[in-house]
Amino acid sequence: MRIKELAMSRIRFGYQRILVLLQREGWLVGKKLVYRLYREQGLQVKTKRRKKLACQNRGRLEPAKVSNERWSMDFVTDRLEDGRYFRVLTIVDQYDRNSPGLLAAPSFSGAKLRDYLDEIAKQRAYPRSITCDNGSEFCSRVFDSWAHLHNIRIDYIRPGKPVENGYIESFNARLRDECLNVSLFSSITDAKEKLEIWRQDYNQNRPHSSLGNLAPATFSAAALGQDQHRKNSLSTAKN
């Protein structure tokens, strides 16, 4: 079962990489056993390159039940006034739709991604898992090592299936419609400032239909209050 779970989330990993992941988790298994079980479940990876071909279906993830349980991440592209392109790293919490961060830069690497996520974690801790596509930054060794170091599961969507990361797709649409398409950016610094202003307004004020028209911060505070009330009630009942 664990081999299948790993194969479904790491859709381009063969049995040898899955063996490494199992051994990291403490499973006392050998190469031959993993290979046999891997083949019995039909999890072999096709190595022939084909455009947007998913090598394996992945299981449907359960909805997040608390803040910081699952994040979604992606990149969007825009242009400065002088015509130069830049990218924006977008992040959203799947539970309360809060955006922990937006980062604009001419380009990204696995190291830059790691450093920015560490900065965010200083303010709100690390998530339990992150859903993202198979972009080079998300599949880099640096990012994989960072995730392993902080015990974060990376859930990769199937190539050509952005609907499997609908939270970030919806967020990106709002970002483009309400910020990128109505703003001019003279420089990367200017883009960072305007993106941060929009992010703060999105988190603190913007009504979100899926949250009962509450802003993400208001919804999160209400959920925290309800959770605390539930714990107090259980404590009182035990006493």
Helix (H) or strand (E) holding 205: none
pLDDT (tens digit per residue) in 126-172: 999 999 998 889 989 899 999 999 999 999 887 778 888 899 999 99
Backbone conformation region of residue 52, classed left if phi is above 0, alpha if psi is from -120 to 50, else beta: left
What are all long-range contacts of 133-139, with beta carbons under 8 Å and residues at least 24 apart?
A: 133/74, 133/157, 133/159, 133/162, 133/165, 134/11, 134/12, 134/159, 135/75, 137/75, 137/108, 137/109, 137/110, 137/113, 138/73, 138/113, 139/12
Candidates 174, 94, 180; CA nearest to 131 is 94
Identify the band that residue 198 occupies on the pLDDT scale cut at 50, 70 and 90: very high
Please state whether 33 falls in left (phi above 0), alpha (psi between -120 and 50) or beta.
alpha
How confident is the model over 35-93, as pLDDT tens digits? 888 888 887 765 554 444 333 344 556 788 899 999 999 999 999 999 999 999 999 99
Tokens representing residue 173 in the block: 């649409």
pLDDT tens profile 188-197: 999 999 999 9
Predicted pLDDT of residue 55: 34
Does the pLDDT value for residue 237 go beyond 60?
no
Q: What is the mean pLDDT of the chain?
A: 85
Question: CA-to-CA distance for 35 and 43, rounded, in angstroms?
Answer: 10
CB 119 within 8 A of CB 146: no
Between 60 and 106, the higher pLDDT residue: 106
